[in-house]
Amino acid sequence: MSAESELKRRQRRWRSMLWSLVAILVLSVALPSLGYVMAQQFYGAEREFSEDRATNPRSDMWRDAREGQGGFTTQTGPYVTNTLISNVGENWRQIRTGPMTTWGGWFLIAVPIVIVLFFLVFGRVKLEEERSGLTVRRWRAYERALHWFTAASFIILAITGLSLLFGRTVLIPLFGPQGFAAYAQGAMYVHNFLGPVFSVALLAMIVLWIRHNIPNRTDWQWFKQGGGIVGKRHPSAGRLNAGEKVWFWLGVVVLGIVVSVSGFVLDFPIFGQTRETMAIAQVVHAVAAIIWIGFFFGHAYIGTIGTEGALEGMTRGRVDVNWAKQHHDLWYEEVLSSGEQPVSEEALKKSKADRQAGTAAGQASH
């Protein structure tokens, strides 16, 4: 009896709890909706928002201005613009004073450090055999003149260009504002006037040397063997090895043209190019130039202290036979098969003396 009534009581308790829960859920939706129903009843359906709550009719104009849309202005002048707000400037400023200077700066510090470490670990690539005393011609006089003119202007352009990018951080503390401004004024003009001349020399270089730089199967082998820079083996190479071809195609051709074209956009602001175009051109110019300068450090190292006997090919124009055999064996064979004979130092001196005597005699006879 008591057990049965206990069960009933528990059932009743469960039932009442369930119903109150359902009631709470239903009412929590129904009661707030009542307000909507009453609003419909008393205020009428879907009231229009009042005029003063509509969007400001001027908002679109300000939105257009903020997005850089142009208007009309009566003023004229080379630097008068019809835009209220140009958005490129702040973005350009963030890039130039941010990643361009910090990453670019560290990159230009890191590359020479890596090269010095490489030199300390692997040392210079020496001639395996003694100098033979016999030389063959590698670069003609006009080729050397072109190379050194381009090299000298590259270095001047790099120093003046980097001065404009990093001078404020590095050189103003050294020279003071007046001293640096005077230098920067000169640096800017040297950069602006030498740049186009450099581009012409660069173009001549591309035209002149493109035939030596056509990639072939030997280059693939050269890459596979790491170019012989590290270790004892010396892969075969023609007149120019694959590493030199990479410098030609990536350095001279790609980076050279990118830097020249972007530089032209900046240097000749007379074709109606906008601030946007010029700010973008400045980023392209500086980033490509920084990469190119890093690449140049490598080229200069390999061509001078990195490789014994390499520099004289570009200074005197002649290289030792043993250097040619070691570094450019296929080219050396070509030279021999073309009928050119290696010449000794004495023979060179003698022919030079003969030539001078000849010209002297020629002048005397006049």
Minimum CB distance to another protein, residue 177 (Å): 6
Least Å from the CB of residue 153 to another protein: 15
Burial of 359 (0-12, 13-18, 19+ CB in 10 A): exposed
Residue with tokens 């030539």: 355
Q: How far is CA 123 from CA 131, 310, 313, 350, in A?
A: 19, 15, 21, 37
Q: Do 317 and 147 form a contact (C-beta atoms < 8 A)?
A: no
- The length of the chain is 366
* Among the listed residues 132, 133, 135, the one whose alpha carbon sits nearest the alpha carbon of residue 318: 135
The continuous run of DSSP H or E covering 344 comes out as strand 343-344
Among 16, 40, 97, 216, binds another protein (CB under 8 A): 97
Q: Which two tokens stand for residue 91?
A: 């973005």
Q: Which of 44, 78, 339, 362 binds another protein (CB under 8 A)?
A: 78
Nearest to 163 by CA among 178, 183, 142, 192: 183
- Residue of the chain from 134, 170, 172, 261 that contacts another protein (CB under 8 A): 172
Q: Which two tokens stand for residue 366?
A: 């006049």
Binding to another protein (CB under 8 A) within 25-64 occurs at 51-52, 54, 56-58, 61, 64
Interface stretch with another protein, choices 31-39, 129-137, 271-279, 342-350 (CB under 8 A)? 271-279
Residues 310-349 that bind another protein (CB under 8 A): none
Of 189-208, binders to another protein (CB under 8 A) are 189, 192-193, 196
Binding of another protein by 72 (CB under 8 A): yes
Written as one string, the DSSP assignment of 254-284 is: IIHHHHHHHHHHHH-TTS---HHHHHHHHHH
Q: Which is nearer to another protein, 64 or 312 (by Cβ)?
A: 64
Q: Cβ closer to another protein: 192 or 236? A: 192
Q: How far is the CB of 176 from another protein (least distance, A)?
A: 10
Q: Quote the CA–CA distance of 332 and 315 in Å, as a whole number.
A: 19
Q: Contacts with another protein: how many residues (CB under 8 A)?
A: 59
Q: Are 199 and 220 in contact (CB under 8 A)?
A: no
We find the least distance from the C-beta atom of residue 359 to another protein, in angstroms, to be 41
**Using CB under 8 A as the criterion, which residues of the chain lie in contact with another protein when the complex forms?**
51-52, 54, 56-58, 61, 64-65, 69, 71-90, 92-93, 96-97, 164-165, 167-168, 172, 177-178, 180-181, 184-185, 188-189, 192-193, 196, 266-270, 275, 278-279, 282
